[in-house]
């Protein structure tokens, strides 16, 4: 079972059970044919949770520049993040910040 070695954190928070192999393969962690419910969706919080840093001054300083909006809300993930990768920031590119 995958959880024997990879149990440090369930990114799906139990939503899909512990049968990782039903979606993920061992050759590539990417799910074949997976596409976000809607790449243009604005309801990220349905499955994702903002990290603690997004509730601090850091977020307020960065969000205005990246999101292009003065008081972006934490729930407006789509203003900065893209669905292909969490760290692919709009207008910035790949950025390791968490």
What is the pLDDT at residue 1? 66
Q: Is 81 helix (H, G, I), strand (E, B) or coil?
A: strand
Q: Name the pairing type of β-strands 93-94 and 88-89.
A: antiparallel
Q: What is the pLDDT of residues 49-74, one digit of tens each?
A: 888 878 887 677 777 777 777 777 88
Token output for 52: 């603690």
HEC per residue, 24-41: CCCCCCCCCCCCCCCCCC
Q: What is the pLDDT of residues 15-46, one digit of tens each?
A: 777 777 777 777 777 776 666 666 667 778 77
Element housing 88 (H / E) = strand 88-89
Q: Is 0.85 topped by the overall pTM? A: no
């Amino acid at each position: 079972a995958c959880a024997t070695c990879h149990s440090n954190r369930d990114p799906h928070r139990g939503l899909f059970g512990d049968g990782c192999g039903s979606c993920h393969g061992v050759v590539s962690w990417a799910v074949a044919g997976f596409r976000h419910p809607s790449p243009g969706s604005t309801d990220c919080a349905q499955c994702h949770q903002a990290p603690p840093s997004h509730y601090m001054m850091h977020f307020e300083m960065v969000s205005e520049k990246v999101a292009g909006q003065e008081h972006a809300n934490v729930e407006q993930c789509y203003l900065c993040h893209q669905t292909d990768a969490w760290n692919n920031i709009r207008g910035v590119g790949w950025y390791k910040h968490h």
